[in-house]
A and B are shown apart, each in its own frame.
Chain A
Amino acid sequence: MHKLQCWIDKMGIRFVLMVNKQGQTRLAQYYEYLTLEERRTLEGEIVRKCLARNEHKCSFVEHRNYKIVYRRYASLFFLVGVDDGENELAILEFIHLLVETMDRHFGNVCELDIMFHLEKVHFMLEEMVVNGCIVETSKANILTPVQLLDKAS
């Protein structure tokens, strides 16, 4: 029963973070509950670890019981925490899909777009990931509800 519980709890993506080069969080979405304090320390530790790596090194870092898949776009780091069983390369591809989706919506997305339209990025992410699982991989399908909201207002 205990063993069962262990892998039932495994859920794929455990958090998505966007952090700039200065280590400031620009977006944080957790799919498991962490207290404020835990989140702050976790983010600090991970960002320090990833920032210390150069571009020649691989995109995967193991930290505590997470595996972090990260990718850098200009000044912004995208960090996705996953469970051990997750396909790291697929997550790398997922990050790129997320960036392309934002790009399609904002047109040449940059850090400021994400800051000032935080809720929209969250809406997109919500269309792509629910409870740590990927829901949708078509950019058009992801963006339809977001654009609908824009039109409605």
Chain B
Amino acid sequence: MNPFSSGTRLRDMIRAIRACKTAAEERAVVRKECAAIRAAINENDQDYRHRNLAKLMFIHMLGYPTHFGQMECLKLIASPGFPEKRIGYLGLMLLLDERQEVLMLVTNSLKQDLNHTNQYIVGLALCALGNICSAEMARDLAPEVERLLQFRDPNIRKKAALCSIRIIKKVPDLAENFINPATALLREKHHGVLITGVQLCTDLCKISTEALEHIRKKCTDGLVRTLKDLANSPYSPEYDIAGITDPFLHIRLLKLLRVLGEGDADASDTMNDILAQVATKTESNKVAGNAILYECVQTIMSIEDNGGLRVLAINILGRFLSNRDNNIRYVALNMLMKAVSADAQAVQRHRATILECVKDSDASIRKRALELVYVLVNETNVKPLAKELIDYLEVSDLDFRGDLTAKICSIVAKFSPEKIWYIDQMLKVLTEAGNFVKDEVWYALIVVISNASELHGYTVRALYRAFQVSAEQESLVRVTVWCIGEYGDMLVNNVGMLDIEDPITVTESDAVDVVEIAIKRHASDLTTKAMALVALLKLSSRFPSCSERIREIIVQFKGSFVLELQQRAIEFNSIIAKHQNIRSTLVERMPVLDEATFIGRRAGSLPGAASTPTIPSVSLPNGVAKPVAPLVDLLDLNSDDAPAPSSSGGGDLLQDLLGVDLPPASQQSGAGQASKTGNDVLLDLLSIGSPSAPSSSSAVDILSSNSSNKVPVSPLDDLSSLSLSTGTTSNAAPMMDLLDGLAPSPPTENNGPVYPSITAFESSSLRLTFNFSKQPGNPQTTVIEATFINLSSNTYTDFVFQAAVPKFLQLHLDPASSNTLPTAGNGSITQNLKITNSQHGKKSLVMRIRIAYKINGKDTLEEGQVNNFPRDL
């Protein structure tokens, strides 16, 4: 009985599904069918098992779960009849995969069927094994497959060959067993055996160099002869496609020859003639012929150089490229891509045609062509190519613009002959497609602008003009706002006019207009608004006449729902209103951003701490975004009307410092490729630290209330050392400490449950040591006895110790033994801390500390971070 012809119910089900008008109806039908099948499975129904499985395959194809039918496949495979086995194996291949344990159960059935007397059943088992074989099955069944490679029936041999490919891919160690039987297949006449044998040899060559050497030595001549016979073979109806005998076999042979010829002059030499023949004699008016030519060109390009052949191949490429058929053009572009490494000059000749393809209406062709143009660009042709591409940007499809923009930016950055050209091109891109420009691209632009001091005026004026026409391009707005903030005075005073520029009259108020538009535009995101806020602060100092207007704009953001903006607005407002004396130094122009550091950081090769210590003021803005938090906090302490959210508790402070809990949307610093937690204030505040600005020390003093006890190397070092325990960490690592505060701390001794004491903090005036103990049975909790020792000759009064930890830790502070710390040798203060580490064993302890006290009635504050805790606390 045929399960399919008499099984009307399969037909019924398909009809019912076809008749469904909505997805819901279809689901209902499928649910009903599945229920019936499950019931049949539960009753162990034998008669309809195959029919049920056929239904399940249909249901599976529609995308519904069918796992409950998997065991049915195994039962059908184990049954004796061919039709049952047939459908069982099909189900096995469709419904199962090698990841499932059910496969373990099928290995035995497969083994039996591989040894079956009926060759069709052997064929079924081979086919299934070839599709689903796992590494374990490969090991178990490899001997059977190896034997079947020599089976009398060619239909079995061909399947065994493909099965072998799967086996050697799963277990490459088995490859050597297959070398000899595989090469034997190459001498066969049967096309199926030949094509699979060639395939097997190709894969063997890729897996094992031993196989490659063997096949290259023993089989190259034979393969060349086979290809010659095939190319010259008379018409054979069974394999003929468009006048060519078995193009698939042609292609497989050419692929194998490619593998054999690559890197071996002798083998390449052997195949020269036949490749020349295929390249010249193959008909190129049908798909089949072109497929062979396509493969042949690839082989010629890959094997060892033979001048004549290469010319032949390049000519074929040229013909393909000018073909009217889009399929042929597509593969031509594909081939040219591969030919670039072999013969870049020849490919360059087709540049004009390729550039036309970038503008094709077909997205697939455009994409290929763009990638090709990208590899063809060099120093000599970058200008015309970039111009073509940028001109095209204007009219390109929206969904292609992202790719195109990225490639243009990359080309321009890589090959720009001079800075002004780079800036010009980037401005064009920002104007046309600023919304598609990636963050690191405009960061890079800012770094370049910052370095091109003679172009500052030119750039800011060009941006001002561009902004007037393309204010909707986000990244253009950002760069414009940044530049106006930095170089606004040059815009207004026409500083550094170049000959090529048209004169332009911009008033101070016009410049502020731009920033105001940017900050008030609804589409502007947080980064843009924050950058605009910083620019406004800078302009308030550059343009005293607009100062009041700027303050009004800033004040409007005091009510912003975005915490970041609100906080900055309040701070900036207070700087403008109350700190006139330091404002100009506070908002000085950014120091030149270091290009090498930026590039290094982009490549991810430079850790923060390594960023050129010789020019710390330059490297810091690039390197560290985090120190901004302590600075801001300190500002809070100094400005009375600030709500100072971060001074309310030590926990907040630490979060600020470590970025533990910052919202993902927090903005990026203008140069701040470093991290998302950076914020723009950083740029300004850090510019204080420029060694070229000696007046900045006053600002530093205000910011760092206890800098007196340090020996600052440079003002900036001093700033960053605020957040550091100078005594415990090497000077080179300030950024590292801040950034890596949560990473496992440097190795410290660990003698079982007894933990060594550490010096948690030491300055010229104070030393803090920690002693550790654990409560038995509670490994997560550590009791720390903190001891404070006064190193100076003054008594400290109103002594307060605060500590903060990241969220995965819980901290409990006991009262201190005293709030007065006598001078050295006259006693100490002790205080107990209890820390519970919820990530015990995974993360080490880390702590931010702040110590406040009075010396002769004068407030002193010391801060630091403790990250030399013993591990495993």
Contacts and interface: CB of A to CB of B under 8 A. Distances in A.
Interface string A22-45: 000111110101001001100100
A116 B163 CA distance: 30
Nearest to A59: B327
Chain A, interface residues (CB within 8 Å), range: 35 or more
B192 interface: yes
A15 interface: no
B238 A138 contact: yes
B456 interface: no
Interface of B: 1-5, 11, 14, 18, 54, 57-58, 61-65, 82-83, 86-87, 90, 93-94, 97-99, 120, 123, 127, 130-131, 155, 158-159, 162-163, 165-166, 169, 172, 191-192, 195-196, 199, 203, 206-207, 238-239, 241, 246-249, 251-252, 287-288, 290-291, 294-295, 326-327, 329-331, 334, 361-365, 367
A118 B57 contact: yes
A44 B127 CA distance: 29
A153 B4 CA distance: 10
Given A7-B206, A57-B364, A93-B287, A134 B195 contact: yes
Interface string A70-107: 00000000000000000111101110010000000000
A22 B196 CA distance: 37
A130 B123 contact: no
B610 to A, nearest CB: 28
Interface of A: 4, 7-9, 11, 25-29, 31, 33, 36, 39-40, 43, 53, 56-62, 87-90, 92-94, 97, 115-120, 122-123, 126, 130-131, 133-141, 145, 148-149, 152-153
A130 B619 CA distance: 58
Given A61-B364, A62-B367, A93-B291, A118 B58 contact: yes
Given A57-B362, A138-B191, A39 B130 contact: no
Contacts of B14: 115-116
Contacts of B97: 33
13 contacts: A29-B94, A57-B362, A58-B330, A87-B251, A93-B291, A118-B57, A118-B61, A134-B195, A134-B248, A135-B196, A137-B192, A137-B249, A153-B83
Contacts of A4: 207
Contacts of B203: 8
A33 B86 CA distance: 21
The list of the 4 closest CB pairs from A to B, nearest first, reads: A153-B2, A89-B291, A58-B326, A33-B97
Given A28-B61, A148-B120, A92 B287 contact: yes
A93 B169 CA distance: 27
Contacts of B195: 134-137
A135 B131 contact: no
Contact of B199 (A58, A62, A133, A149): A133
B291 A122 contact: no
Contacts of B207: 4, 8
Contact of A39 (B57, B63, B294): B63
Nearest to B238: A138
A133 B758 CA distance: 65
B34 to A, nearest CB: 14
Contacts of A149: 82-83, 86
A20 B57 CA distance: 18
B378 to A, nearest CB: 25
A37 to B, nearest CB: 9
Given A116-B14, A136-B158, A33 B248 contact: no
A44 B832 CA distance: 62
B188 to A, nearest CB: 13
Contacts of A60: 327, 330, 364
